[in-house]
Amino acid sequence: MKRFAPFFILIIAFLTSCNVAQYVTVPVNYGPKMGFRHDSTTIVVINRYKPDSIKIRDQRRLTVLKKMAVTSLQTAATQLKYLRGVRIINIVDSLNYAVNTDSVKFLASKYGAHYVLALNDITAGIYAENSYYNGNVSTYYTTKVKTILNLYENNGLYSKRLSGMAEVPQDEVYSGGFAALFYRPSYRSSIPTLTIATQNATLDALKDYLPFSISNERPLYTDGEALQSSAALIKAGKFDLAFKILNPLIDGADVKLASKAAYNLAVVYEAQGDIEEALKTAKLSNDKRRSEMAQALIADLMKE
């Protein structure tokens, strides 16, 4: 065993010198992109969606669509009421499923509202998707939902169309073959996924008015004492201390180190919610020395 010791020492030394990737989860919180024109806003929520019983003859499917419509409106009312200064008046009849035909101007006047939010349409479908592996075919089913709401001003003349889409995969997976030709999930058996997809599609429709957050898994440079220390501080959430290590390195003579330090610092800015400075620093990193990590970060930040 002793004769192999130098070989293992070389391997350990090699691995130590390599840049072993470490990742940090960066949550990014965003405020609403749009707001309402009043400090104190009252919104009436109504239903104007009526499933077409002529085109859809299946009574069970009609029942599910009505439940989805109520879910959509309840989701919208619940989320909007958490916004500062927003008061919601939800007049949706969830028991008898009545479609409101009153004019927007009448409703706004009756309830003293600034806006009227109406669900005008909701569509749903269950689609099969095949996966191929080692010659075997597996069939997955995905539930897709689209919601269309309209936000009307109280004068009834102006409105904004709010469209949202979402898809949720079903839990079941079916092997391909003869049996797969005859099996298809029904609307009734898909109610759990239809409910989730409806909620998500409604949130997507209202996305400009609601705050939201995302989490990104960012790789960090850790080769060298300074970068390794900064990575440890970033993962611990000690961004000020990480900044003190990284910032002086950016203008250093070592261009390679400067590029990596700028990248890690860009992750710091993103973690602090300063997307503009994060993008600027990520571009600086890539200008000093082109890298896939910096380019990937730039692409993501430009979307954010």
Domain harbouring 229, CATH code:
1.25.40.10
Q: When comparing pLDDT for 148 and 126, which is higher?
A: 148
Cα–Cα distance measured from residue 196 to residue 173, given in angstroms and rounded to the nearest whole number: 19
The β-bridge partners of 128 are 141
pLDDT at 159 over 70: yes
Q: Does 261 lie in the same domain as 179?
A: no
Report pLDDT for 190: 77
How many residues are listed for the chain in this entry? 304
Q: Does 173 lie in the same domain as 111?
A: yes
When mean pLDDT is compared across 115-124, 191-200, 210-219, the lowest value belongs to 210-219
Cα–Cα distance measured from residue 62 to residue 246, given in angstroms and rounded to the nearest whole number: 60
Which helix (H) or strand (E) segment holds residue 83: the answer is none
The residue whose two tokens read 């904004």 is: 160
Q: Does 228 lie in the same domain as 129?
A: no
Q: Given phi > 0 = left and psi -120 to 50 = alpha, else beta, which region is 237?
A: left
Cα–Cα distance measured from residue 169 to residue 22, given in angstroms and rounded to the nearest whole number: 31
Report pLDDT for 178: 42
What is the percent of the chain where pLDDT is above 70? Answer: 82
Q: What's the whole-number mean pLDDT along residues 7-35? A: 61
Sequence-separated (6 or more) residues with CB below 8 Å from residue 179? none
Does some domain include residue 21? Answer: no
Cα–Cα distance measured from residue 261 to residue 267, given in angstroms and rounded to the nearest whole number: 10
Q: What's the whole-number mean pLDDT along residues 190-195? A: 86
Q: Range of 286's domain?
A: 215-303
Does some domain include residue 26? Answer: no
Q: Does 158 lie in the same domain as 282?
A: no
Report pLDDT for 229: 92
Q: Does 264 lie in the same domain as 146?
A: no
Question: pTM score, two decimals?
Answer: 0.63
The CA-to-CA distance between both ends of the chain, in Å, stands at 55
Q: When comparing pLDDT for 197 and 6, which is higher?
A: 197
The two tokens of residue 198 are: 């409806």
Does some domain include residue 200? Answer: yes
Single out the residue of 217, 218, 212, 243 nearest to residue 229, CA to CA: 243
The residue whose two tokens read 């998707």 is: 129
Which helix (H) or strand (E) segment holds residue 63: the answer is helix 59-80
Last residue of a domain, one of 184, 208, 232: 208
Last residue of a domain, one of 146, 176, 208: 208
Q: Does 159 lie in the same domain as 139?
A: yes
| Strand-strand pairing, 41-47 and 86-90 | parallel
Sequence-separated (6 or more) residues with CB below 8 Å from residue 78? none
Does some domain include residue 22? Answer: no
CATH of the domain at 142: 3.30.160.150
- Is the CB of residue 75 less than 8 Å from the CB of residue 203? yes
Cα–Cα distance measured from residue 148 to residue 117, given in angstroms and rounded to the nearest whole number: 11
Does some domain include residue 52? Answer: yes
Our measurement of the distance from residue 17's CA atom to the centroid of its chain's CA atoms, rounded to an integer in Å, reads: 38
pLDDT in tens, 175-188: 444 444 445 666 66
pLDDT in tens, 85-117: 999 999 998 888 889 999 999 999 999 999 999
pLDDT at 216 over 60: yes
Cα–Cα distance measured from residue 249 to residue 243, given in angstroms and rounded to the nearest whole number: 10
- Is the CB of residue 171 less than 8 Å from the CB of residue 162? no
Residue type at 237? G
Single out the residue of 49, 59, 71, 58 nearest to residue 119, CA to CA: 49
pLDDT at 20 over 60: no
Q: Does 275 lie in the same domain as 145?
A: no
Cα–Cα distance measured from residue 88 to residue 117, given in angstroms and rounded to the nearest whole number: 10
Last residue of a domain, one of 208, 227, 262: 208
Report pLDDT for 231: 92
Cα–Cα distance measured from residue 251 to residue 244, given in angstroms and rounded to the nearest whole number: 13
| Signed CA dihedral, 68, 74, 78, 84: sign only | positive
Cα–Cα distance measured from residue 279 to residue 269, given in angstroms and rounded to the nearest whole number: 9
Cα–Cα distance measured from residue 122 to residue 49, given in angstroms and rounded to the nearest whole number: 7
What is the percent of the chain where pLDDT is above 90? Answer: 56
pLDDT at 254 over 50: yes
Q: Does 156 lie in the same domain as 120?
A: yes
Q: Does 285 lie in the same domain as 229?
A: yes
